[in-house]
Structure formats: C-alpha cells, structure tokens
Amino acid sequence: MTKQKLDCVFQPKTVAIAGVSTKQTTVPSLSQRYLRAVREYGFKGRVYPLNPKGGEIWGLKIYPNIKDIPEPVDYVISCIPASATPQLIKECAVKGVKVIHFYTSGFSEAGTDEGRRLENEIYSLARQNGMRIIGPNCMGVYSPKANFSFVSDFPKESGSVALICQSGGNTNYIVREGANRGVRFSKVISYGNAVDINESDLLEYLTFDADTEIITAYIEGVKNGKRFSQALREAAKVKPVIVLKSGITESGAKVAASHVSALAGSNEIWDGFLRQVGAIRANSLDELIDMAMTFSYLPLLAGRRVSILGTGGGVTVLAADDCINAGLTVPRFSEGIYNKLKNLLKTEAGVILNNPVDLATGVYQTGIYDVLNTLINCGEFDLHMLHFALGLIGFSPSLRNRIWDSIVEDAIRVHKESAKPVVVVIHSLASNSDYEWMLEAQRKCCEAGIPVYHSMSSAAKAIDRFLRYHELRLTRAQD
C-alpha cells in the first residue's frame, strides 16, 4: 500500500511549478531556481511554470492557471504564499494531480493560529482529493533514477543510499559532500513539516524499496512516536538505518519547533531508543556522511585488527591513539612481517615500523605496493588504513602531489588485485593545494571502491560503529 502510494513522489511524469515570478533579483527566487534545476538536471517530462499574471520565462509560456495546461499534470511544486495554497489544491484536484510539494512556508512552524489552521486545511483538502503532500516548508525531492532534482548539479548517477531529511539546507550538504565522498543516492527527500508524508511513511516505503540498501535520516522531531518506533525497528531489521537526531537539547528542541514544527526529545532518550531498535546514531552531518560511505563501501570485516600506514612520526603516534580510543585493535606485527617490511622500506633509523608504520621518506622511492601487499596477504589484519597528513610536509606541493599520487595509485592497484578492504584517510589540510589534492585523490579512491575519511578519529569511529552494527546483528541472529 505505502509503496504504491509513494512511488508517485519519486517518479514525477509532468511537473508544474506554481508561483514562478518573472522578476530578476540578485538572489534568484526559489521558484526560478526550481524551474532551472528541474530543467537543467535533465528531467525528461515537461515542466510548466504557473502564475496568475501569465507571461513568459526563459522561452517558456507561464500558464495563469493549472487548468490551462494542455496535458495531465501529476506533480506540482508550490512556491506561492501560504494563504493561497487551499485554492491551489482545489485546482490541482480538478486537474488530477497526485503530489503537491509545498516549498511554501508559513504554516504550523510559524507558531501562529492562522498557520496551524492553514496546515490543517491543506491536509484535509489533499486527503479529500486523494493527493499526497510533501512538506510544507521544504526543498522536496531528488530522485536521480527519475532524472528529477531540486538542484541542478547533484550527481546524475543513482546509488544505494536513501536520505530522508527534515532540513532542506542539510539535504543540500549531505548530497553534495556525500557525492564528493563517493556516496550515491537512490531517493532523497527534504520533507519539512511533514503534514502528510512523514518520517514513518518514508521509512516504511524505503524498507521495501529495492533501489535502497542503506537508509539515512536527519530528523528534528517525529509526528507519532509509537508508529515511528515501529517503522524504524522494521527498517533496521532489513537494512542499515543511520539517524542524525537534532533538537536534542532543550534549546535545540525549541528551535526545531519553529523550524519544522517538531516535537523533539532528550539526548539520552534518543540514544537508548536508537540502540534498542538497532539503528545507527550519527552525531553530526559529517558523521552521517562518514557512516553512509562506510556502509556503502566496506564489506563485512572478519574482526577489528587494523594495520596503519602513514608518513610522519607524531601523526603515527596519534593515529594509534585514535584507533584504540575508538575500539579498534592495532596489533604488532609478527617477526616475519616486521622483517619483511623493514627490508621493503629500507628503513632509516628513527622510523616507527611496528604498527602503526611511519612510512617516512623511504616510501617516496619504494612506493607502497609491496608493503601493502605484504600486509594484506599476511592474514594478521582485518582492515588496512593508509593515511596522508597533508599539512605536515615541508617540501613543495607539486613534488608532494607527484609522489603521493603514485602512492594512491599503488594503493588502488593493491586493492583492485586483492579485493581486500582498504580505507584511506586524508587529514591535517593547511592550504588550497592540500584541499585540491584531497578532492582529486578522494575521487580516484572512491571510484576504485576505497572510502576516504578526513581524520583518523572520524575514520576509526565510523569503522567501529560499522563493526558494532554487524557484531550486534550476528549476536541477535545467534540468540
């Protein structure tokens, strides 16, 4: 039931955008941005701008009323003022529209009686006419398989991660930075006030969505705690569900109320609850992306034993601390492996060689291929971490880049040949050229199936949570 009902949300056929203004302003109006985004992203259906004043924009006729559009319309994006929305719904009903997404705000989140009344009214009207509402007060849908997006430069390829997100800005960031990190999305929705389609509907839908292997969620508040709990528990049985809950402090909760009219809840309650239902908690947007990437890329690991390779004595000591603090183990090498590595790296005095390994400058001559292969084949480790501390290097960026590019290539080659799990950490950036190198190396690694993290501690935390998730499932399966 739910599945069928929500397919229309993610697969629009013909779209109308209500409230398209023709005015040129410094910051383009949202209605114009929607129109541009839907067209530029590559939507295959037709898009009709609407405005009672009529006119033309970018060569497109603006229709005064939806009834004037010469073909059926199944999907409407509303950028009109809240007060005019009931009338829009009535007109959409006549036209047979299935879904209205209200970018429009000024409903219950405004905290006024009129806002609450309007929200109830649009809900009743939509319900009476068999229409579904996205929002109000949200950015809407990004559905790459349907060539549909509210931002034109989101990735064209679809992937296995779904995102349900109560904030439009956060949706933007998670998709953009997620894309940099190699995360690709099946279905993304910024759902705002959730007057109709809410977090529970979406969880239920995505639980059985064949395109979605991992569910991520940014939630400020839930509409119906009991139903949400049930939906989350069921979803978590079927696939990993990563949840960032905000509004967890008293102050945050008050803010959430005026953002999307949400009832929040305390930190401890959410912590216990998420653990109990088997969901994975993220504590920031970046942690959510870290986790989405980790679940997208890492295979099941046999255990917690990591090898750590990097350049720099101090960061090597810190790397060991970070991994141990997060609950990973960093066992020392057997004598055989130790001697082999010593040989391969032509180790100078003063170089740390027993897990973690400070590759030191020797690696600039030898590369990493043989070293990593030795570690990967020795059977003493479950995961291999290669880290690059960019801002620590004393010599020129161009030389550094050339050398480190070849180390990245070595790592990709070993990973491809062995199919064993490797992760890369690129950290301690201190310049534009560091950031540029990072983005490019990250892109290459992701393409080769190697996840890239931005600090040793965030990598270790994400890997620990990934391991704990699978350990818990194993324990529960055995019970």
Q: Which stretch binds a second copy (CB under 8 A): 2-10, 123-131, 280-288, 290-298?
A: 280-288
Cβ closest to a second copy, residue 98 vs residue 465: 465
In the chain, the N- to C-terminal Cα span, in Å, equals: 33
Q: Which amino acid is at 91?
A: E
Dihedral of CA 213/216/222/225: which sign? positive
The span from the CA of 314 to the CA of 337, in Å, is 23
Examine residue 392 and tell whether it contacts a second copy (CB under 8 A). Answer: yes
Examine residue 40 and tell whether it contacts a second copy (CB under 8 A). Answer: no
Examine residue 57 and tell whether it contacts a second copy (CB under 8 A). Answer: no
Site string for a second copy, 221-250 (x = CB under 8 A): -------------------------xxxxx
The span from the CA of 22 to the CA of 28, in Å, is 10
Contacting residues for 389 by C-beta, under 8 A, at least 6 apart: 310, 311, 312, 315, 427, 428
Examine residue 143 and tell whether it contacts a second copy (CB under 8 A). Answer: no
| Binder among 88, 151, 337, 462 for a second copy (CB under 8 A) | 151
Cβ closest to a second copy, residue 173 vs residue 211: 173
- Judge contact between 64 and 54, C-beta under 8 A: yes
- In the complex, the smallest distance separating the C-beta of residue 197 from a second copy, rounded to whole angstroms, is 18
- In the complex, the smallest distance separating the C-beta of residue 219 from a second copy, rounded to whole angstroms, is 10
**H helices within 239-284, ranges in order?**
250-260, 267-277
Cβ closest to a second copy, residue 4 vs residue 251: 251
- In the complex, the smallest distance separating the C-beta of residue 228 from a second copy, rounded to whole angstroms, is 18
Examine residue 177 and tell whether it contacts a second copy (CB under 8 A). Answer: yes
Examine residue 377 and tell whether it contacts a second copy (CB under 8 A). Answer: no
Q: Which stretch binds a second copy (CB under 8 A): 5-13, 126-134, 164-172, 208-216?
A: 164-172
Q: Which stretch binds a second copy (CB under 8 A): 67-75, 163-171, 206-214, 271-279?
A: 163-171
Examine residue 410 and tell whether it contacts a second copy (CB under 8 A). Answer: no
- In the complex, the smallest distance separating the C-beta of residue 285 from a second copy, rounded to whole angstroms, is 6
The span from the CA of 382 to the CA of 19, in Å, is 56
Examine residue 387 and tell whether it contacts a second copy (CB under 8 A). Answer: no
Give Dmax over CA atoms of the chain in angstroms. 81
CA triplet 173, 177, 181: central angle to 5 degrees? Answer: 155
Cβ closest to a second copy, residue 153 vs residue 417: 153
Cβ closest to a second copy, residue 69 vs residue 353: 353
DSSP 122-155: HHHHHHHTT-EEE-SSS-EEEBGGGTB-SSTTS-
Examine residue 361 and tell whether it contacts a second copy (CB under 8 A). Answer: yes
Closest to 356 measured CA to CA, from 401, 403, 394, 324: 324
Using CB under 8 A as the binding rule, the residues of this chain from 113 to 142 that contact a second copy are 115, 137
Cβ closest to a second copy, residue 98 vs residue 451: 451
Closest to 191 measured CA to CA, from 241, 276, 277, 262: 262
| Binder among 18, 165, 231, 235 for a second copy (CB under 8 A) | 165
Closest to 360 measured CA to CA, from 345, 376, 373: 345
| Binder among 23, 348, 475, 479 for a second copy (CB under 8 A) | 348
Element of type H or E holding 3? helix 2-10
